[in-house]
Amino acid sequence: MKKLINSLNSGLNGELLIPGDKSISHRSIMLGSIANGETTIKNFLMSDDCISTINAFKDMGVEIEQNENNIIVHGVGFHGLKKPNKDLDMGNSGTSTRLMMGLLAGQNFDSNLIGDNSLSKRPMKRISTPLEQMGAQIKLNENTLPAIIHGKSLNEIDYTLPIASAQVKSAIILAAIQAKNKSTIKEPIKTRNHTELMLNTFSPNTIITEENTITINPVTQLIGQNINVPGDISSAAFFLVAGAITKNSNITLKNIGINQTRTGILKVLNLMGANYTLLNQNLDGEPTADINIKSSSLKPINLTEQDIPMMIDELPLVGLLAACANGVSKITGAKELRFKETDRIKTLVQEFKKLGISITELEDGFIIDGSKNWNPTDLLLDSHGDHRIGMTMAIAALLIKDSTTLKDSESINISYPTFFNDLNKLIKTS
């Protein structure tokens, strides 16, 4: 589908309730499914990726009721999943695939995970290698899906992650809770900790975190919970950036998750001199706040490897901020971007060049000179089938004098099906 995006005449103004967090939504279905009793989930993200997770658990015999963004999962207990009678289709979702590989490795049945073209190119050995050390039996097509998992009883592991990845960490955690003895994982750099926080509500004291070391105790049962999913900061980020880079804007985003392992984009906005405020903070469980942002003048920024995990999904937007700053920004240590839904270094460079943004591709990042004027030469932009590249380019397009067209805009349904509606709300009220 092609989407026409008009230039923004005045600013973006108003309030938005951002849809639920994708990472937390996936985990709520997974843990709810293997818990005893009901798990109710409010503000669930009803997007294509999360629907892949729901469907996979339905295929394993879990009853999941849905009423708009509210869900009831009728948990089948820690050993209650049933062998699926077809391949489990993960669609585009790396999180569903990788976390479920960990969970399924310890079940007493076999399963086969498949995915779409993009997912079928993404690396999976990073998951099967530690799981095999735990005694799992997983057959990949070299490094990629399909993954045939022969469920087995698992041993504990003491593992140092070779890359900073919450998906790898979470896969190991979901395997380790099924192991005979306690396991430990060491992270080179801290990554999002939603699995750890949620597991400790379903089964207290399962996870103990000390600095960068996570200890996982085996579990015998999880108890169903009531979960309220905060707004996704990775979705809010599109409007935080839109508010900062457009003139005459004043936007408030309500009930956004501000877990410290996710707030890299706020750190960047702060360092670049953006004008934002946190309001109504609630620090219980997964912390939340409303965030107000106004038009800002931006300074350039330098980011290195240590900064990356807490803003991994927001880096295309950091590129857009850099393209609006008054100097040269350099982002390095971000090679992981090459293994996302697309090679996001390559696709971002390609799309930014169409708009005449001064960007240089690096092996592990990019350099952007925001002091140079944008000189658009090609107004047919492309999401490349990648939701976050699509939304980043839709926000960039607001600054272009002429209308632009975004190709494959439906990929945005992966994480933010109401993105264009929400954008229009902010335009209409201005």
Active-site residue list: 313
Distances (CA, A) of 288 to 46, 238, 257, 278, 355: 20, 17, 4, 9, 35
3-state helix, strand, coil in the chain (%, to 5): 35, 25, 40
Q: Least separation, in Å, of the C-beta of 358 and ligand S3P?
A: 27
* Longest Cα–Cα distance in the chain: 62
Please name the residues in contact with 145: beta carbons below 8 A apart, sequence gap of 6 or more: 90, 97, 113, 114, 115, 119, 120, 122, 124
Sheet holding 13-17, edge to edge: 13-17, 250-257, 288-294, 275-282
Q: Of 192 and 384, which CB lies nearer to ligand S3P in the complex structure?
A: 192
Chain mean position to CA 266: 16
Q: Least separation, in Å, of the C-beta of 340 and ligand S3P?
A: 6
Considering the rule CB under 6 A, would residue 336 count as an interface residue with ligand S3P? yes
Q: Least separation, in Å, of the C-beta of 169 and ligand S3P?
A: 7
Considering the rule CB under 6 A, would residue 122 count as an interface residue with ligand S3P? no
| Segment near ligand S3P (CB under 6 A); pick from 163-171, 182-190, 224-232, 378-386 | 163-171
Q: Of 3 and 387, which CB lies nearer to ligand S3P in the complex structure?
A: 387
**Nearest-angstrom CA–CA distance, 255 and 333:** 31
If you ran DSSP here, which 8-state letter would residue 280 be given? E
**In terms of C-beta density within 10 A (0-12 exposed, 13-18 middle, 19 or more buried), how is residue 210 classed?**
exposed
| Segment near ligand S3P (CB under 6 A); pick from 55-63, 164-172, 177-185, 262-270 | 164-172
Please name the residues in contact with 424: beta carbons below 8 A apart, sequence gap of 6 or more: none
Cβ atoms 306, 325 nearer than 8 A:
no
**Token pair belonging to 238:** 């599109």
Considering the rule CB under 6 A, would residue 253 count as an interface residue with ligand S3P? no
Q: Using CB positions, name the residue nearest to ligand S3P.
A: 23
Considering the rule CB under 6 A, would residue 48 count as an interface residue with ligand S3P? no
Instruction: Please select the residue that binds ligand S3P; options are 43, 47, 52, 95, rule is CB under 6 A.
Output: 95
Cβ atoms 122, 144 nearer than 8 A:
yes
Considering the rule CB under 6 A, would residue 313 count as an interface residue with ligand S3P? yes
Q: Least separation, in Å, of the C-beta of 21 and ligand S3P?
A: 9
Q: Radius of gyration over alpha carbons of the chain, in Å?
A: 21
Q: Of 50 and 397, which CB lies nearer to ligand S3P in the complex structure?
A: 50
How many CA atoms, within 13 angstroms, populate the side-chain half-sphere of residue 330? 7
Considering the rule CB under 6 A, would residue 28 count as an interface residue with ligand S3P? no
Considering the rule CB under 6 A, would residue 93 count as an interface residue with ligand S3P? no
**Nearest-angstrom CA–CA distance, 84 and 331:** 43
Considering the rule CB under 6 A, would residue 187 count as an interface residue with ligand S3P? no
Considering the rule CB under 6 A, would residue 263 count as an interface residue with ligand S3P? no
- Compute how many residues bind ligand S3P; rule: CB under 6 A: 11
Q: Least separation, in Å, of the C-beta of 339 and ligand S3P?
A: 8
Q: Of 31 and 166, which CB lies nearer to ligand S3P in the complex structure?
A: 166
Considering the rule CB under 6 A, would residue 170 count as an interface residue with ligand S3P? yes
| Segment near ligand S3P (CB under 6 A); pick from 161-169, 268-276, 317-325, 348-356 | 161-169
Helices (H) then strands (E): counts for the chain: 12, 23
Q: Least separation, in Å, of the C-beta of 414 and ligand S3P?
A: 10
- H or E stretch including 23? helix 22-33
Q: Least separation, in Å, of the C-beta of 18 and ligand S3P?
A: 16
Q: Of 202 and 357, which CB lies nearer to ligand S3P in the complex structure?
A: 202
Instruction: Please select the residue that binds ligand S3P; options are 81, 131, 166, 320, rule is CB under 6 A.
Output: 166
Question: Interface with ligand S3P by CB under 6 A: which residues?
Answer: 23, 95, 165-167, 170, 191-192, 312-313, 336
